[in-house]
Amino acid sequence: MPKTIHDRFRNLEGKWSIKRTLGDIGKAEGEAAFLLLGSSNVMVYQEILEVTFHGNAPQTGHQEYKFIYNIERDTISKYNSFDNFVSDNFMYHLKFSGDKANGKYVCNSDVYSATYRFVDDNKFTLLYDVTGPGKNYYILTEFEKIIEQDVWGASLDLDSV
């Protein structure tokens, strides 16, 4: 039976390992967390990873976003985290079709076309096809949920992320 959009949203909560391919210029690995704010329909996304551009020393990278589930519209929207999540940082609404969702974000003259593919409850991918006057590349991120036994019996402390 297909998952509802609300089910997909709620399943994001938790810690995830991420592997990212930055087109043919680099890669990144690290962890991410989706943190539900109380009993709301707002989830904060935070990631920290080690980024390596070919031929350069690794660097630490960090990103934050906010995802909101709208009950009336049955949609998930993504926002940049700048300026404490003010409403003008809207990126896109996810449009779902089965186990896939799409969104599009325009930044200056560049277009970021997002495709989410939900493999199962513990795995999904996010592919950004980036095009613009000086851009033509992709960013592929693979997410795998970290289950407590995956961290050698340690207890996960999502509050510390």
pLDDT tens readout for residues 63-80: 999 999 999 999 999 998
Q: At 83, which helix (H) or strand (E)?
A: helix 82-85
> Which domains does the chain show, CATH number per domain?
5-146 (2.40.128.20)
In this prediction, residue 92 carries a pLDDT of 96
**Tens-place pLDDT, residues 84-108:** 545 568 999 999 999 999 999 998 8
Closest-CA residue to 16 (of 46, 61, 52, 36): 46
Closest CA to 114 of 129, 135, 99, 96: 129
What is the value of pTM for the model shown?
A: 0.86
Q: How confident is the model at residue 147 (pLDDT cuts 50, 70, 90)?
A: confident
